[in-house]
Amino acid sequence: MANTMKPEIIKVPTKPFEGQRPGTSGLRKKTRVFMQPNYLENVVQSVFNVIRETAGDFGQHMLVIGGDGRYYNREGIKIIINMAVANGFGRLLVARGGLMSTPAVSAVIRRRSALGGLILSASHNAGGIDEDFGIKYNIHNGGPAPESVTEAIYEQTKKITEYITISEANVDIDREGSTRIGQTQIDVINSLTDYCELMEELFDFESIRRLFASGFRMTFDAMHAITGPYAHHLLEERLGAAQGTVVKGTPLPDFGGHHPDPNLVYAADLVARLADDNGPDFGAACDGDGDRNLILGRRFFVSPGDSLALIAEHAKDAIPAFRDGLAGVARSMPTSTAADRVAQELGIKFYETPTGWKFFGSLLDAGLCTICGEESFGTGSNHVREKDGVWAVLAWLSILAHTRKSVEQVMREHWRRFGRSYYQRHDFEGIDTDAAARMIAALREKIPGLNGKDFGGSKITTADDFSYTDPVDGSTATKQGIRLLLADGSRAVFRLSGTGTSGATLRLYVERYLRDEGVSDVNQILAPLLNDAKDLLRLKEFTGRDKANVVT
C-alpha cells in the first residue's frame, strides 16, 4: 500500500531513565522496566542520535529490525518502525512477525549493506512479563556496536529530552511485502532467506545429506526460541534429517517457561535423550536469539572451548568455506586455551579478547582471524559478525560427515593429538550487588602480592586484571576479569556478569591442561583449583554461598 504523503511527525517530550548503559551485549532489564512509557523509545532515539552524527541523512540508509520473539517483541518492533520512519530512514527491513535470529540479522545487514540493525532480545535470559527484555544495536559490519558507540549511546540516554515518532504506521508485519510511508520504504522480509542462502554457500549440503541418508540421527532442541524455524527448514527440509529431528521448534514469548540457555542444566531434557540407549547420535541446542550452541554426542558433552578447537582443527578439510585455511583463531580471555594449541600447530594467528562478541568484530573485519569462540557456548566465523548457533551445528555436522566418526571419537582423537584443557565455569547467581562488588574489590587489592604463591597444586606466575588493546583500532578495555596464571599452565579467572538483570552473578572459571588423552575426571582434576579460588575470593564470607547454581 503506497502512502507517499508525508507522515505527521510527533515530538514527544521525555526525561532520562537511570541505568541505560549497555552491558556485555546490549541493554537488558526486566520486561516491566522496558514496558514503562518512553523507556524503549529513549534508547532507540539515543541510538539514532548517535549514529546520525556519522551517517548523516538517514534518507540514504537502510535499517534492519528483528527480535527473538520474547514477550513485548511485537510492541517493541512497532515502536521502532514508527520512530525509524519519523527519523527519516530511507528503508526499513523488518523481519516477518518481528522474528529473526541474531546471526540472521547480522547476515541481512551484511548482505544488503544496511547501515545497521536493532535487535530486540535478552538472548539466553528467560522471557515473559516478569522476566527479561533487551535491545542491542549492530553496526554496518553486522556486529554488535563497539564500546565507543555503546558508551556514546549511554551518554545520550542521560541527556535525552525528546524523541520523535509517527502515529501508528499501518504495516502488517506478518505479511511479506513493501509499504511506503512518506520517504520510508518498509519491507517485511522473510526471516530465513538470506541466512539459509548463506549457510548453503558455506557448507557442503550434499555431504551432510549423505550423512543423514546413511541413518545418522540427531535431535535439535530449539528451546521454544528463535532457531526453531531455521532448524526445521535447514535440517529437516533441506538436509534430509527425519521429521521430528527438531524439538521445541515453535518460538514462544516465554520460551515455554524455561531459560532458553543451552547448557547442561537448562537443556537437561536433551542431555537425557542423548543418554538413552536408543538415543540419537548427535544432539544440539540453541539459545533465545540463536547465537549460542550446545553440542552433545551419545552420553558425551562437548565443552565449548573444545568445540572451538575441534572446529578450527577440521575446518579446512571439512568445510568448503575454509578450503584455503584459516587466517587465525580468536577466543575470549576466560575461554579455555584449547584453541591456542590448534592455532600454534596450524601456524596461524591467535588472539585473546575480553568477554563479549563485540571485541571480535575488528579482528574479523581486518582479516586477522576466521573463527572465534567463547566458553559461554558461543562459536562463529567471519561469515557474520555474531556468534552463530545454527552455523556451529552445521560445522559439527560437516565434520561428522567428513570423518564418519562419532562425536566422542573425534573429540578423543583431538585430545590424543593436542592434550585436554579440563575446564569448568561456575556461576553464582543472585548475589547481593554490593557484596559482589566488595568481594571483587578485595580480590583486586590482593593482586600485587599473589605472584609466586601456591595455588591449586601449582604456583601463581601471573596475577592481573585483564586489559586489552585492540590491535586494529588501538582502543583499550580495562578491568575485564581477574586472572591467575599458574606455572603448570592452569588458570583461574574471576569476573562479574554483564548480562544479568537482578543482583550480581559471579563467574568463576577454572582450567587445567593435561596431556593424558582426556581420560581423567573433570571434577576431580579441577577440585584443587576451585577450592583455592573460592578461598582466595572469600566467597562464603562475602556471599554466604559455596555452591554454584550452574556449572558448565
From 337, 355, 421, 490, residue interacting with ligand VG1 (rule: CB under 6 A): 355
- Pick 165 or 379: Cβ nearer ligand VG1: 379
Instruction: Choose the stretch contacting Co ion; rule: CB under 5 A; options: 285-293, 312-320, 366-374, 516-524.
Output: 285-293
467 near 479, Cβ under 8 Å? yes
State the burial class of residue 172 (Cβ atoms within 10 Å of its Cβ: 0-12, 13-18, 19+).
exposed
- Residue 171 CA to its chain's centroid (Å): 30
Binding flag, residue 287, Co ion (CB under 5 A)? yes
Name the nearest CA neighbour of 171 among 92, 71, 66: 92
d(Cα 315, Cα 369) in Å, to the nearest integer?
A: 13
- Pick 127 or 518: Cβ nearer ligand VG1: 127
From 251, 356, 380, 481, residue interacting with ligand VG1 (rule: CB under 6 A): 356
Q: Find the shortest distance in angstroms from Cβ 314 to ligand VG1.
A: 23
Site size toward Co ion, by CB under 5 A: 5
320-349 residues in contact with ligand VG1 (CB under 6 A) are 332
Binding flag, residue 191, ligand VG1 (CB under 6 A)? no
C-alpha cell at 517: 588423552
- Pick 25 or 42: Cβ nearer ligand VG1: 25
Helix (H) / strand (E) element for 454: namely strand 454-455
Binding flag, residue 386, Co ion (CB under 5 A)? no
From 101, 184, 458, 499, residue interacting with ligand VG1 (rule: CB under 6 A): 499
d(Cα 210, Cα 190) in Å, to the nearest integer?
A: 28
Helix (H) / strand (E) element for 231: namely helix 227-231
Name the nearest CA neighbour of 296 among 239, 241, 218, 363: 218
Sign of the C-alpha dihedral computed for residues 448, 449, 454 and 459 taken in this order: positive
Q: Find the shortest distance in angstroms from Cβ 24 to ligand VG1.
A: 3
- Pick 194 or 287: Cβ nearer ligand VG1: 287
Binding flag, residue 291, ligand VG1 (CB under 6 A)? yes
From 45, 82, 123, 293, residue interacting with Co ion (rule: CB under 5 A): 123
116 near 64, Cβ under 8 Å? yes
Binding flag, residue 357, ligand VG1 (CB under 6 A)? yes
Residue 507, contacted partner among Co ion, ligand VG1, none, CB below 5-8 A by kind? ligand VG1
104-163 residues in contact with ligand VG1 (CB under 6 A) are 123-124
Q: DSSP 3-state assignment of 52?
A: helix
What phi and psi values does residue 431 have, to the nearest 5 degrees?
A: -80, 150
Residue 355, contacted partner among Co ion, ligand VG1, none, CB below 5-8 A by kind? ligand VG1
What value, to the nearest 5°, has the Cα angle with vertex 491 and ends 487 and 496?
Answer: 150
Task: Please give the C-alpha separations between residue 122 and each of 52, 118, 393, 500, in angstroms, as whole numbers.
Answer: 25, 13, 22, 9
421 a catalytic residue = no
| The one catalytic residue among 123, 307, 336, 497 | 123
Binding flag, residue 233, ligand VG1 (CB under 6 A)? no
Binding flag, residue 389, ligand VG1 (CB under 6 A)? no
Task: Please give the C-alpha separations between residue 314 and each of 214, 343, 387, 520, in angstroms, as whole numbers.
Answer: 21, 12, 18, 24
Q: Find the shortest distance in angstroms from Cβ 285 to ligand VG1.
A: 12
Binding flag, residue 385, ligand VG1 (CB under 6 A)? no
Q: Find the shortest distance in angstroms from Cβ 482 to ligand VG1.
A: 14
Contacts of 542 (CB under 8 A, 6+ apart): 435, 436, 438, 439, 442
What is the DSSP annotation of 457-480? TEEEEEEEE--EE-TTT--EE---
365-384 residues in contact with ligand VG1 (CB under 6 A) are 374, 376, 378
Instruction: Choose the stretch contacting ligand VG1; rule: CB under 6 A; options: 110-118, 184-192, 211-219, 287-295.
Output: 287-295
What is the DSSP annotation of 387-453? --HHHHHHHHHHHHHHH---HHHHHHHHHHHH-EEEEEEEEEEEE-HHHHHHHHHHHHHHGGG-TT-
Residue 25, contacted partner among ligand VG1, Co ion, none, CB below 5-8 A by kind? ligand VG1
- Pick 49 or 335: Cβ nearer ligand VG1: 335
> Using CB under 6 A as the criterion, which residues of the chain lie in contact with ligand VG1 when the complex forms?
24-25, 123-124, 287, 291-292, 332, 355-357, 374, 376, 378, 497-499, 507
> Using CB under 5 A as the criterion, which residues of the chain lie in contact with Co ion when the complex forms?
123, 287, 289, 291-292
Q: Which residue numbers are catalytic?
A: 123
